[in-house]
Each structure stands twice: as structure tokens, then as C-alpha cells.
Structure 1
């Protein structure tokens, strides 16, 4: 399993404005942000990492990179919300909201 620093993503956390349809970063949302980071670690970086078993990261996207997650946040959330990602099945509503909060707070 790929291991990466949760601190790298956490360092980007902070309140921001509505960005890309993600909504705003709610105050006192550190627990949800951490849960969203776990969603990325458990559901996204399995394929979207530089050590992907099939070669390059799926879609050429490396979600172990906080900068890449920030750049792709709106699309990541949209694909998760519509059930297109992860390919193993749609995320639960709780996981979707945690992902949304995490992504909104990294903007």
C-alpha cells in the first residue's frame, strides 16, 4: 500500500471561498478534513500514484501530490459525486461530504 504524508495535505488546509462548486470551507471542520484526506488515501491514491502497478498514475494524475489534488479538486469531487470514481463503487454520502470539505478547505 502506498504511504504518503498526511501532513503534506493538512498543511494546505484553511478556510477559503467557494471554489469550483465545492462550497466553502466550514469553520471547525478539521475532523471532516481529516476524514476527507482518508477518503483520498483509501479511494483515490490506489490508482492515482507514481507507483501504480499499471505504469504511470491512472489518467496521468498523481493524487499523492497535494498540488495535484488542489489543481484537480473540482473535477475529483464531480466525478466522485456522480459515481464515476472510484471505479470500485460510489462513495457513501458521509465520505462524499468529507471529501468535499477537505477539497474546499485546500483551495
Structure 2
């Protein structure tokens, strides 16, 4: 299990970590499910894709676990998920296009 450290956003991250750290990374939850139909009133036409604002995500969004996304996309490992996410962000890989229908 991961051991979490809560970070103060007003202070440099590295200075808040134990002395044996010389680098740090912050991982945000990449998968958020918005409630069904939340975007319908915002669309100008039925083909328009609406992205939620940060406020909407925080208020209405539910995190979806990495494992749930992997199961829905038939990905067998975190390495496959990583490659699928690379594809979605512009790194070409025909093998992992199967993730695209699940990310909106």
C-alpha cells in the first residue's frame, strides 16, 4: 500500500519530504466519471463534446480506479495502460486504440 504525504501547495514540495529524497512526483487521479447526462444542458448541438470545469469535476465527478479502466478496456497490466494513455496523448500505437471509446 502507498504511504501518502499531504503536501502544502504554498511550500516547495521537495522541502516537505524526508531528507533522503532528491526528487518528487505528484500523481493525480486520471480517470473521472461525471454523472450521466450532466453535459446535455450545456451542448449547443448533440454532436458537441463538453468538458467539465475543474469546479464541476470536484463537485460532481467520481474517481474511477486504474483497475476498473483496465478491466473495461481489457488491458492486462499497468504497462499496457501506460501505452494506451500514451496513444491518447499523441504517441502512436495502433495496438492500444481500444482504450479510446472509454475515455470521453
Check whether TM > 0.5: no
TM-score, with length taken from structure 2: 0.27
Which of the two has higher C-alpha Rg? 2
Compare relative contact order (CA 8 Å, sep 6+) and give the higher one, 1 or 2.
1
More helix by share: 1
TM-score, with length taken from structure 1: 0.27
